[in-house]
Amino acid sequence: MSFVDLTEFSVFSVNIKSMRFLKTSWRNLMMANYEVDKNHLLNYLPRGCELDLYKGKALVSVVAFEFNHTCIAGIPIPIYRKFPEINLRFYVKRIVDGKCRRGVVFIKEIIPHKLPAWIARTVFKENFYVLPVKFEMTQSTVKYEWGAGNVLAGVFEGELHDWKKGSEEEFIGNNFWAYKNVGNKKTLEFEVTHRVWKMRELSKLEVSFDFTSLYGDEFAKAIKNQGGKPTSVFYVDGSQVEVTLPRQVLLHDDH
């Protein structure tokens, strides 16, 4: 496989060829993870990718985090430098030159502001929606609230530590690629670079999502049919992040 390079692009008259297009900081992540019927995810699977399973299980994650100090092509986004996001994602992999690229596919992303959502839809072709989102954190607690009564919250336990090798937490949190279906035949690929993150356990969890209103009946059923309860919920510190401009994956049958 090879690529069609789509990095010939300019925003606000700035040419960004060969640049990391998005530079930002993703901080204070909370990850609530669910087993889902893997056949349901096939409807969202980008061409050229395959599902990445953890011990035979297909997982989806509701991930809440803070965007901080976001720059597009080196230019700070005006006004909206810091805001929370909630996304639903699942896990895929793609083999390139004999090496495995483990990545994520975003089903839906929710932020509280229209301008960053428009930029993300326009440039990254992602499914961004605008809803009220609130974030609160103290020395001992962390909490996200969004939409009509959706809550993800917990109390910190212990200190930050490295991923346990082979754990579900490492599988969920240690990905460096993202993929997106565009139309029926195109797949876009993004590279995401950041330091290896650290995690922290949570107790006294408050996990309340209306999957039906957020993601539709079929997705809600696919999660409910596998038990409907999180397989894990944890906190991740996050870091500075850089994301490339999307590149179209050129598959053999596209010639």
DSSP per position, 144-205: EEETTTEEEEEEEEEEEEPPPTT-HHHHHH---EEEEEETTTEEEEEEEE-PPP-EEEEEEE
Across 3-22, average pLDDT: 44
**pLDDT at position 185, please?**
78
Q: How many Cα atoms occupy the beta-carbon half-sphere of 213 within 13 Å?
A: 9
Q: How confident is the model at residue 20 (pLDDT cuts 50, 70, 90)?
A: low
Residue 161: DSSP 8-state: E
**pLDDT tens profile 203-225:** 999 999 999 999 999 999 999 99
Q: What letter does residue 20 receive in the DSSP assignment?
A: E
Task: Name the band, by pLDDT with cuts 50, 70 and 90, for residue 69.
Answer: confident
The answer to whether 203 touches 65, Cβ cutoff 8 Å, is no
3-state DSSP percent of the chain in helix, strand and coil, to 5: 15, 55, 30
62 forms bridges with which residues in the sheet?
Answer: 32, 88
Highest mean pLDDT among 2-6, 38-42, 156-160: 156-160
Determine the Cα angle at 104 with ends 100 and 106, to 5°. Answer: 155
Q: pLDDT for 110-124, tens place per residue?
A: 999 887 778 777 776
Q: Check: CATH 2.40.400.10 for 2-254?
A: yes
With residue 76 as reference, give the H or E element that holds it: strand 75-76
The answer to whether the CB of 219 falls within 8 A of the CB of 107 is yes
Domain ranges of the chain: 2-254
Burial zone of 64 (CB within 10 Å; 0-12 exposed, 13-18 middle, 19+ buried): buried
Radius of gyration, alpha carbons of the chain: 18
Q: Give CA angle at 40 (193, 124), nearest 5°.
A: 35
Residues 231-244 pLDDT 10s: 999 999 999 999 99
DSSP-assigned beta bridge partners for residue 112: none
For the chain, what is the largest distance between any 2 Cα atoms, rounded to a whole number of angstroms?
56
Distance CA 123, CA 26 (A): 19
CA 5 to chain centroid: 23
Give the per-residue SS3 of 206-244. Answer: EEECCHHHHHCHHHHHHHHCCCCCCCEEEEEEEEEEEEE
Helices (H) then strands (E): counts for the chain: 5, 18
Q: What is the pTM of this model?
A: 0.87
Rounded to whole angstroms, the Cα distance separating 137 from 202 reads 13
Read off the pLDDT band of 252 (50, 70, 90). low
Q: What integer pLDDT is reported at residue 22 of this predicted model?
A: 81
Residue 188 and residue 182 in contact, taking contact as beta carbons nearer than 8 Å: yes
